[in-house]
Amino acid sequence: MAKGDNGRNLNGAPIFIIWFQMLVSVGCCALLGSFSRVHPMFSFHPQFEYDPKVALKIAPLSMVFVGMIAFNNLCLKYVPLSFYNIARSLTICFNVLFTKLLLGKSTSTNAVVCCSVVVAGFFLGSTDDISFDLLGTIFGVLSSVFVSLNSIYVAKVMPFVQNNQWKLSMYNSVNAALIFPLIMVGMGELQTLRTSPAISNSYFWFLMIVTALLGFAINIA
């Protein structure tokens, strides 16, 4: 999240920041797709495409992805990093649960015991009055739910893009870039954007662009 002093702070609009990163990601995919035509070094990336029929099939994953990223950032907005890590540890438990419910696969006794330990640790961490925040905790749990669902839906939609992870990334990024503005409006972030001095701060935009590029680079590494 882009932070700073002297008009460089936009903590009131976390979804806008994510949306901007998605736009940069889409732009990077388009550039890499163009470069792949002229230089073999970029041949790993397919040419940019967006077929509405394929995009509709990818939409369930995109909605899960948007929920995962949004709740992740909202959790960090309300709780410190230490408690955020505790809340996100529930991902292991939801992985076991959804593997059983959605994929019909059984879970070993050892995995259930490990999940019990994680849940116990979560409740112990929740008793810390200094770090506990009800809304932040809810967002953290929901983030864990969507992280678990994301891996499952990735496997489900892969055949629609010929099992090509780069194509999946393209479609998912475009879909997410179309969904995030709806959440921004629903959360009233437009008012924050209109009144924040960060919008007219060049250093803020420099940080936004660098952060988005680094995020994209990490994803393709």
pLDDT tens for the 221 residues of the chain, in order: 444 444 555 667 888 988 999 999 999 989 988 888 888 887 888 889 999 999 999 999 999 999 998 888 888 777 777 666 766 677 777 877 787 777 777 767 676 777 677 667 666 655 555 556 778 788 888 888 998 899 889 988 999 999 998 899 999 999 999 999 999 988 888 888 888 888 888 998 999 999 999 988 887 76
Which residues, 6 or more positions from 108, have their beta carbon under 8 angstroms from its beta carbon?
none
Q: 94, 82, 77: which is closest to 124 by C-alpha?
A: 82
How many angstroms separate the CA atoms of 214 and 130, rounded?
33
**pLDDT score for 179:** 94
Look at residue 174 and give its three-state secondary structure: helix
Q: pTM of the predicted model, to two decimals?
A: 0.78
**pLDDT score for 35:** 87
How many angstroms separate the CA atoms of 79 and 63, rounded?
24
